């Protein structure tokens, strides 16, 4: 950690403070506490094992960091609720560690999950997808991914703000929910954090937890990871269970990690992946679940063949220039680059409206099933029609003018039926995304994976295919870029991060994690620029350990 920050000091102006405080930490306590802005899960586990600090210390430190920036200071609005049981759980996990040792790499590690991922009501937190309509609703059980985190010894520290209903209510700015308000980006004041896993990404970016979970239907992990300088894995649909996750579409939804490093992503994915009788899409995955941390090979790109579909690279010249420079690095790591390697169906996939049909029709069925499965809903909403009426009745909290009034996707979905056009659209998406799309491209050019700037047309093909993508930090917009006007957030401006994406076929995560790790280790782009100073929480473990 210190080594990396020292390297940074020579590369970037304005980070001296962080380096100094890190060194001061080490000197005053005579043990090196990891800097919580960047601390990896492995570093935290090591400190816990050595007794340098406890999980109770970690929870207190992260709570203090959330307090500093969530509603105060830069008011990033990343977190909707913190877990009132977290300190108690941390104490129990500390005691268990003393008696029996750690359960595994996540024992006693605090994780924040998106507010559409159910957590036990008895623990004290809501699961609402950001909407007042689900406030106080009683979920039947933890989402399977939350239960798996807990079984691995992780502490669910809190629930992350998000684009409400994972951005399926209507045309609403990213990062807004009725309950959480407008979340913003820690790299530029009042900038778009992207979404829909906005709060998860903001929290990971500045160290409000050791790691986070997000969910993606089309871009909701990749895009906020891209814009908040993070590693995000959008797993194959069916690798991670969606049971207990407020849905958009059973055909496209997937849950994955949003974290600071590929190693952290591998550690979390290993725990949350697996078959689940409550989500039959997971039954198609190969068994056993791999230990994704075994894919962390710095030489994984040697001999790999990667193709670049240039017509999907997007149009931002800064991003394309940085991407091109990284292509040279990837070549120097021993990969063969096929450039261009266009999708055989590029034009069709671009203009297809099939995804809209699938999502619109799925949402009504899937969200109605989710609500029907709740044990109690104090607001009385029973289905999508009630949700629409709830928003009208509570317009002051949910349909706030001038930016947040739309619920057109809700209305279109309520009006939909699973007719012949729906089944035709589902079949067309499979053909467009899988057969003639990602698989077609991999086959035509004999590739291991597809390489793109994450902000290009990257999430789209993977969304309709249900296929995996991993994004890794690539660079930052330059200081001389003129920021766009705030509407209500700034969509692009100086310091806004961007990423590079590795896309593959179904269940190719192990291979993609290897490529991403090799790239990350050769570049270490994440620490080349930090969040804006007010968005960097000051509380560190040295302020907590041994204090009362």
Ligand X SMILES: *[C@@H]1O[C@H](CO)[C@@H](O)[C@H](O)[C@H]1NC(C)=O
* Residues in contact with ligand X by the rule CB under 6 A: 70-71, 77, 79-82, 121, 124-126, 135-136, 180-181, 280-281, 317, 320-321, 324, 339, 348, 352-354, 357, 411-412, 415, 428, 432, 478, 480
Are 520 and 262 in contact by the 8 Å Cβ rule? The answer is yes
Minimum separation from the CB atom of position 50 to ligand X (A): 31
Question: H-type helices in 15-167, by residue range?
Answer: 16-29, 41-49, 55-69, 86-100, 144-151, 164-167
CA proximity to 304, closest of 471, 508, 465, 526: 508
Return the number of the residue (348 or 444) whose C-beta is nearest ligand X: 348
Minimum separation from the CB atom of position 371 to ligand X (A): 16
Return the number of the residue (281 or 404) whose C-beta is nearest ligand X: 281
Minimum separation from the CB atom of position 384 to ligand X (A): 13
CA proximity to 543, closest of 16, 25, 13: 25
How far apart CA 342 and CA 277 sit, in angstroms, is 38
Task: Report DSSP state, residue 438.
Answer: I
With 0-12 CB in 10 A as exposed, 13-18 as middle and 19+ as buried, what is 88? middle
Task: Report DSSP state, residue 118.
Answer: -
Length of the chain: 548
Minimum separation from the CB atom of position 150 to ligand X (A): 16
For residue 12, what are the contacts with CB-CB under 8 A and spacing of at least 6?
528, 529, 530
Q: Measured at CB, which residue is nearest to ligand X? A: 353
Minimum separation from the CB atom of position 63 to ligand X (A): 9
Return the number of the residue (374 or 412) whose C-beta is nearest ligand X: 412
Return the number of the residue (32 or 85) whose C-beta is nearest ligand X: 85
Collect contacts of 91-99 with beta carbons under 8 A, ≥24 apart. Answer: 91/55, 91/56, 93/55, 93/153, 93/155, 94/54, 94/55, 94/56, 96/153, 97/48, 97/49, 97/55
Return the number of the residue (78 or 93) whose C-beta is nearest ligand X: 78
Return the number of the residue (51 or 378) whose C-beta is nearest ligand X: 378
Question: Which token pair is 376?
Answer: 């109690």
Minimum separation from the CB atom of position 242 to ligand X (A): 12
Residue 75, classed as helix, strand or coil, is coil
| Residues noted as catalytic | 114, 196, 220
CA proximity to 453, closest of 302, 261, 322, 348: 322
């Amino acid at each position: 950690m210190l080594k990396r920050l020292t390297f940074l000091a020579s590369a970037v102006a304005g980070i001296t403070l962080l380096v100094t405080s890190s060194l001061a930490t080490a000197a005053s306590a005579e043990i090196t506490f990891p800097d919580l802005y960047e601390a990896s899960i492995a570093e935290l586990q090591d400190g816990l094992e050595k007794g340098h600090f406890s999980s109770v210390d970690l929870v207190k430190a992260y709570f203090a960091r959330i307090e500093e920036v969530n509603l105060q200071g830069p008011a990033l609005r990343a977190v909707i609720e913190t877990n009132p049981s977290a300190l108690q759980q941390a104490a129990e996990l500390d005691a268990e560690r003393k008696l029996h040792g750690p359960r595994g790499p996540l024992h006693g590690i605090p994780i924040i999950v998106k507010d559409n991922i159910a957590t036990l009501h008895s623990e004290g937190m809501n699961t609402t997808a950001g909407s007042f309509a689900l406030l106080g609703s009683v979920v039947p059980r933890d989402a399977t991914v939350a239960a798996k985190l807990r079984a691995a010894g992780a502490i669910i520290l809190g629930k992350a703000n998000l684009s409400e209903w994972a951005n399926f209510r209507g045309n609403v700015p990213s990062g807004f929910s009725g309950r959480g308000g407008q979340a913003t980006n820690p790299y530029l004041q009042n900038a778009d954090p992207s979404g829909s896993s906005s709060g998860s990404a903001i929290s990971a970016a500045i160290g409000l937890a050791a790691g986070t979970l997000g969910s993606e239907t089309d871009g909701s992990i990749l895009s906020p990871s891209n814009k908040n300088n993070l590693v995000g894995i959008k797993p194959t649909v069916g690798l991670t269970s969606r049971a207990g996750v407020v849905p958009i579409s059973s055909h496209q939804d997937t849950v994955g990690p949003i974290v600071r490093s590929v190693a952290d992503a591998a550690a979390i994915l290993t725990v949350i992946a697996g078959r689940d009788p409550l989500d039959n899409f997971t039954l198609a995955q190969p068994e056993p679940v791999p230990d994704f941390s075994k894919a962390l090979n710095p030489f994984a790109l040697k001999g790999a063949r990667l193709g670049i579909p240039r017509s999907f690279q997007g149009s931002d010249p800064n991003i394309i220039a940085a991407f091109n420079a990284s292509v040279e690095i990837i070549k120097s790591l021993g990969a063969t680059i096929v450039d261009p390697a266009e999708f055989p169906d590029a034009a069709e996939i671009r203009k297809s409206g099939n995804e809209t049909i699938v999502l619109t029709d799925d949402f009504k069925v899937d969200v109605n099933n989710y609500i029907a499965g709740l044990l109690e809903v104090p607001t009385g909403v029973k289905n999508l029609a009630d949700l629409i009426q709830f928003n009208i009745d509570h317009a002051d909290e949910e349909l706030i003018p001038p930016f947040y009034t739309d619920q057109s996707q809700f209305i279109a979905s309520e009006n939909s039926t699973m007719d012949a056009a729906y089944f035709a659209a589902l079949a067309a998406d499979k053909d467009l995304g899988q057969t003639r799309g990602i698989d077609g491209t991999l086959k035509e050019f004999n590739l291991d994976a597809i390489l793109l700037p994450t902000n290009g047309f990257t999430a789209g093909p993977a969304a309709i295919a249900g296929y995996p993508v991993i994004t890794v930090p690539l660079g930052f917009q330059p200081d001389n870029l003129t920021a766009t006007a705030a509407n209500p957030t700034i969509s692009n401006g100086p310091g806004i991060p961007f990423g590079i994406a590795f896309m593959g076929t179904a269940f190719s995560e192990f291979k993609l994690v290897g490529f991403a790790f090799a790239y990350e280790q050769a570049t270490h782009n994440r620490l080349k620029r930090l969040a804006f100073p007010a968005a960097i929480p000051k509380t560190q473990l040295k302020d907590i350990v041994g204090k009362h």
